[in-house]
Structure 1
Amino acid sequence: MNNFIFTIPTTAYFGKGQINILGNTIKSHGGSKVLLAYGGGSIKANGIYDATVSQLNGAGISFVELNGIQPNPRIESVEEGIRIYRDNNCDFILGVGGGSTLDACKAIAAGVKYDGPVTDLFVDESGISSRITAVAPLATILTMAGTGSELDMGGVITVGEDHKKKVVLHPLLNPKFSILDPEYTYTVPEHHSMAGVADILCHLMEQYFTPDVAATVQDRMNEGVMKAVLEEAPKILADPQDYDARANIMWASSMALAGFQFVLGKPGFPFPLHGMGHELSSMYDMTHGVTLALLTPSWMRHTISTAPQQLPIFAQFARNVMGVSEKDDTIAAEAGIEALEAFYAAIKMPANLREAGVKEEDLEVMAEKAVENGNLGILTSIGKDEALQIMRMAF
């Protein structure tokens, strides 16, 4: 196992009624004028907005609002948030929503402390956003489980006319605290709930499928969380207000990327599926988790074919996570992939790219864009040709 540093500076307030700590906890972090950021109108329809405002008013905290943050958040929302924060002399940011809102808030938090354009702050060749030296304090109220942004240091922002996905990543971007109330996810539509499940599962798998460096603790913990996701997601389909199922999925989302714990001690930080999936979101504005479900089985088969020495990790996944009992690694690995495909079908993900509305003539452009900053992957190298093969297989 390689050396690593592990820290999670975010405090998680998990469970029913945790909104009641909001006002005083913001004050304890020095907040007196808050930028309250959120997406569409759902938090007003389900009462979360009123509960948030009541907490702020009760603690004597003034606030201004940034609303309308889109799924796959745009740089324009980030720039507007920076302007509002500065014009109103804010000293704290509160993001209320799912991963898109939280990601935008992280970019805002960095941008308000930087003199140049916020586009300077995306990940560079160092692997982090090295120009970030200070950020505004940030807290989050999570309303949809999936991205893990409530307990990690990264965010993804959509930039430019070609909707390119860019990443902000820095330890300073960990929220000061996050409120995680599973009841706040009851009203999330089924499709988005299950897309969040696919996102969680892919976060876990992309940390799992790395070269073997005897990181046994990380892998066994990861397997347990993956199994929990497989078990709990169908319960939400059966009953959207199953508190324990919602709680387990929410906590799995947070744990999947908490301090990037399951990739600690491993080589690299590959996430090739995210690299390709972002291009589907960019071109088709496709829900992030759906893109990952569409690509994962094809990526798995491609990797086994081009790097057969990696077969044992896929066979291990099949046995330890998907419940396959086959002793032969090749047969076991394929059975595991088929079981994963059956799970995606059970949670109502599209069966292939064609069914999801992708045009075959767009595949080559997306493959090229996916690797424009370098090849993807760590088990096997994915350049344009390999990305195109994977996408065609998924088509």
Structure 2
Amino acid sequence: MSRAKDISGLEFIALNAMLMALVALAINMILPAFSHMTGHFNLPDPNRIGLSVALLYIGLAFGQILFGAWSDSIGRKLSLNIGLLIFLGGALLSYFSSSFWGFIAGQVIQGVGLGAPRVVTVAIVRDRYEGAMMARTMSFIMVIFALVPTVSPYLGQGVIRLAGWRALFVLFGVGALTMLIWLNTRLAETHPTDARTPLSFQRLAFNFGAVLRNGPAMLYAGALGVVSGAFIAYLNMSQQLFEVQHGLGSRYPLFFALMSLSLALASFLNGRLVVRLGVERLATIGVVVMCASSIVMAAATRAMGRKESLTELSLYLAVMLFCFGLLVSNLNALAMRSLGAVAGTGASVVGAVTTFVSVPLAILIGSFYSGSSVPLVLAFAGFSAISFCLVKLADRL
């Protein structure tokens, strides 16, 4: 048996978590640089730099479709290798770009490349586990994935102070090369040759059609996409909410990190509870608490006739991210439950549906921001209510 096949359960979780964490690093580390990049590119509207995150997600959606389907035909490891190299190329383009739109192009290319670690890791986990055990494993992966945002703004802020914002993309390149080495020396291929589907348009179309016709899977993916729209809007607006609206300045990464800890806590608790309580029950709890808390927050803000305090906003967002932490692992596991035969294509379609639903919603929410958290609170309330309806409909099917 080769050394790669001896990878332990803990190392398996750590490797897949760090592959997924590249997505969080590429998004969260540049948040403290928004004001620097706005000035560098002479942008008239500070909200415009938020396009870098939204469009990275668009690239991510296309990357997920591409690499998920490929991984069913060419294997998980080769798909990851190609994706990581594309991500590296996008990081280099963003580093060398002299124009805003060149920088944006680099972000989109990074997103396409990140589609591989984002979706193929889910397929790798599905190759080994299903149902509650998949949700449990994904929860522990999400603990590490969720802890990355607690340190990435600090790391980004430190890099910016030492070497400028462009150095962030050098760090991304180093991260991609590190993961390439770890992946190729330690992880065995989880999708054997005899289980692969021929790489042809007809086969890809058949697999995509089979996934898209799976009503429960698509409903669960839509439910995750809706609540993810509010989450991405929070990422886009967090710098303005904390640093500008509440005057935190350089303390912004601290509050962002504290919020992210609640997401990590939810993932950890989910991993401990999901086998006992069940995936469906925990997903329902997450979406109901998210909706009820948002309604209470919106009503209280209106009754007080003033903006929320920093403490009130922080407590509310901590609850939202805790609920989101419950939903990510469980709704993903529910969507993938019946897609084991085409796990790569299934993960790509689920991920793409989630992204194509969430990104336009996030951009829409961001367009309503005018110095108040009210649009974000209403989005969490309304989107979680829609998500609840989709989950219940999928449960019936």
Global fold match (TM > 0.5) = no
Question: What is the TM-score when the length of structure 2 is the normalising length?
Answer: 0.27
Q: Which has the higher helix share?
A: 2
Question: What is the TM-score when the length of structure 1 is the normalising length?
Answer: 0.27
Identify the structure with bigger relative contact order (alpha carbons < 8 Å, sequence gap 6+).
Answer: 2
Q: Which has the higher strand share?
A: 1
